[in-house]
Amino acid sequence: FPMAATDPQVLALAAQITESREQDIPLLLLKLKGILSSPSLGSEESNKIKQDLYDYGLTQYCLLVLKQDHSQLHGAWATAAQLAEILSHCCVGLEVKEDPEEFYRKFLPSVIDSLLVLGRRLQARFIRAIKDKEKQDFLHWFQIVTDAICWLFGGHIQLAARVLQNDRFLQLLITDDVETAVVMMSVLHNILRINSSFLLQVEEETLHSVLDELVYKLSSTTNPAVGSAATKLLLLVAKSCKQLVQLLTARYKGLKGLLSKQWTGKGFDREVNQLLDLLYLEQSSGKGEMQKQHEAACVIQAAWRGFQTRKRLKKLPQAVVTLQRNFRAKREQELQHLTKQKEDEALKLQMQLQRQRAMRLFHERQLALLEVVHASQVNKYMQEMEEKSALTIQRFWRGYRARRIFHQQKQSLKEYKAAVIIQRAACKFLEKRRRRRPLSPWKEPKGLTDEQRLALQQKVDDYIKLHPASQMSEERSKELHVQAQAKLAQFLLRNRLDQRAAQRREALLAQVNTDVELLMNAPGLAESTEKDFGAFMSRSIPVATKARQAHNTMLKYTRWPWWKKLGDEFMEDDVIPDDAINTELETLFIGGRK
């Protein structure tokens, strides 16, 4: 503990937390709110208390509690929201002198991440809530957490850029719920109000995602609160930097028409008109010089055409009729061109909205993947998805190429099959002829002469003399026989146990593979039903599923077209390739006694 004078309330709370159980610590940490509210904020006494809380580890305790499962705490989400508010007040105004890098580089970013995670969980439960009382409670707690985030990066400005770059913030912003969307846009408004240049410091993909979501909210909703918040944010972005105005003009072609048609007269016309003025000013400044040259060329062309027309009118009185006809045709052509141009712009806007919606859904799935899949499995999951996509593309391309080559080489295929039939007949004919050929008469091997037999007998006798056989008694022979029988029985018993152990390992490995495949194909926790839980609690369901898949694979092989079986002319009708049958059986677990 530090040696300087410490507030007695902090000392008493630290001692009480040290002696308390782990489940009682969150309720004790709530007393920090009363300790912090006793002095006036910003005073030296308040800063001294915050320093003592950090030195005694109470601030770190709050962060550790926020990282736990909030549903297991006393008071559940209400306690978590209050702890988030207390943690943000403890960090603002705190100046760490010992090891400041640990505080500013590690502790504060960890606090921001924990608060965003808590906000995401509250938002999800607010959306899933059915009763009005539950929705009001979750919305109140969500606003407390977002206010804590705003208070934290208001006291430490460098955290605002980290909030923008956090995937959890994008996930909170990308939502169809009106109440939480307005709250998150207010958080973004506070970030830009502190320093609007943060948008130029983040990655281009993050900037585009934020702007895409704001424009999407303008185009997909008619709620005045959402429209007003999104319009004010876009106006603040446009006022912050001319580069961002150019990005809005180039990336969102139909934004001006959307603002003027859909959001005029909704109660925030001043912001809408200011944003439209900035967009039109940027568009006109880039085309001013070109517009002048175009107008000058049009004046010259009009003067020349007028001169030519008057000259022809003097010579040809009938030119008036031709001129009127040409004028009507040109006016009709212009009307058609304008109609087509409007249809193209509407179609382009619709395609752009669909593209943005698809991009938004892709971001939602990608961010939701961080909750469902463990961090160590994300790269493996993405690699498997890429491999499956590549295999699908290759399979379709090879099928198309095989069908095209098959149609092109139909005549050569007929010749090939004819040659195969001729070769088969020739082989059968040669085989029958080879069987009918008479066998050659048996010739008796030549025997040994008397001299050779005597010499061989002499060599055998000499070897026996050099290597006499050892004499063994009958008792010794029986003893060796009993030992051999015992070792043989021991070996057979050990071999049987090894076979059972190997069979058990194979069964466990197959069971693990089956469970892994079920987990990979299982839906998310939010989409799971009782039927999905039964698939993991019962062993018969995966076995039946795998057996059905193997049966379907075998039926699929029997229904193949004839041109897929061209390499099987010499295969028996009742023989099926093992690869076709065992495609799905490699990970099948057959239950049995262990």
Compute CA distances 266 → 228, 262, 274, 523, whole Å. Answer: 8, 9, 15, 42
Arithmetic mean of pLDDT, 329-355 = 92
3-state SS string for 35-78: HHHCCCCCCHHHHHHHHHHHHCCHHHHHHHHHCCCHHHCCCHHH
pTM to 2 decimal places: 0.45
Q: In this predicted structure, what is the pLDDT of residue 95?
A: 75
Arithmetic mean of pLDDT, 116-121 = 85
Q: In this predicted structure, what is the pLDDT of residue 219?
A: 82
**Tens digits of per-residue pLDDT, 216-235?**
888 888 888 888 888 888 88
**Tens digits of per-residue pLDDT, 179-190?**
888 888 888 888
Q: How is residue 408 written in tokens?
A: 């092109």
Euclidean distance between CA atoms 22 and 274, whole angstroms: 56
Q: In this predicted structure, what is the pLDDT of residue 414?
A: 86
If one compares 583 and 483, the residue with the highest pLDDT of the two is: 483
Band of pLDDT at residue 79, cut at 50, 70 and 90: confident
Residue 41: pLDDT over 50: no
Q: In this predicted structure, what is the pLDDT of residue 403?
A: 87
Arithmetic mean of pLDDT, 152-178 = 81
| List of residues 6+ apart from 320 with CB closer than 8 A | 313
The answer to which of 40-54, 154-168, 344-358, 384-398 has the lowest mean pLDDT is: 40-54
CB atoms within 10 A of CB 92: 17
Percent of the chain scoring above 70 in pLDDT: 85
Q: Where are the alpha helices (DSSP H) in 522-538?
A: 530-537
Band of pLDDT at residue 592, cut at 50, 70 and 90: very low
**Tens digits of per-residue pLDDT, 240-256?**
777 777 777 777 777 77
Residue 565: pLDDT over 70: no
Q: In this predicted structure, what is the pLDDT of residue 572?
A: 42
| Whether the Cβ atoms of residue 164 and residue 210 lie closer than 8 Å to each other | yes
HSE of 9 in the Cβ direction (CA atoms, 13 Å)? 17
| Whether the Cβ atoms of residue 534 and residue 565 lie closer than 8 Å to each other | no
The answer to which of 45-54, 395-404, 414-423, 487-496 has the lowest mean pLDDT is: 45-54
Mean of the per-residue pLDDT values of the chain: 79
**Tens digits of per-residue pLDDT, 365-382?**
777 777 777 767 778 877
Residue in this structure with the two tokens 């008469």, named with its chain if needed: 441
Band of pLDDT at residue 117, cut at 50, 70 and 90: confident
Residue 33: pLDDT over 60: yes
**Tens digits of per-residue pLDDT, 473-526?**
888 888 999 999 999 999 999 999 999 999 889 888 877 887 787 778 777 777
One-letter amino acid at 441 equals: P
Q: In this predicted structure, what is the pLDDT of residue 170?
A: 82
**Tens digits of per-residue pLDDT, 138-149?**
888 888 888 888
Residue 126: pLDDT over 50: yes
Q: In this predicted structure, what is the pLDDT of residue 334?
A: 94
Q: In this predicted structure, what is the pLDDT of residue 566?
A: 59
Q: In this predicted structure, what is the pLDDT of residue 71?
A: 67
Q: How is residue 42 written in tokens?
A: 């910003």
Arithmetic mean of pLDDT, 102-109 = 81
| Whether the Cβ atoms of residue 234 and residue 258 lie closer than 8 Å to each other | no
